Amino acid sequence: MKKSAQRNLIRWLHIIIGSILATYVYSPWNQIAVFQLIVKGIAIPVIILSGLWLWKGHLLRNPARKK
């Protein structure tokens, strides 16, 4: 997979999972226990990891570029 395609995939994953988080915050669905578990257990860690990967992933792929 090309680096640009991988970055686009991670970016869209980040956006879609972020919209799930926004749904949790701004809708009455936050009262549903299963939805709370999904958001707290899966969505938030995925958003954090994908955001870190988009921000600093180049350092993991090429350690010689550390600045």
pTM: 0.80
pLDDT at position 66 over 70: no
Hey, what amino acid is at 10?
A: I
pLDDT given at position 60: 80
pLDDT given at position 61: 79
16-62 pLDDT per residue, tens:
999 999 999 999 988 999 999 999 999 999 999 999 999 998 888 77
**Domain span including residue 13:** 3-65
pLDDT given at position 65: 63
Which of 47-55's residues contact partners 24+ apart within 8 Å by CB, and which partners?
A: 47/14, 47/17, 47/18, 47/21, 50/10, 50/13, 50/14, 50/17, 51/14, 53/10, 54/7, 54/10, 54/11, 54/14
Domains: count for the chain? 1
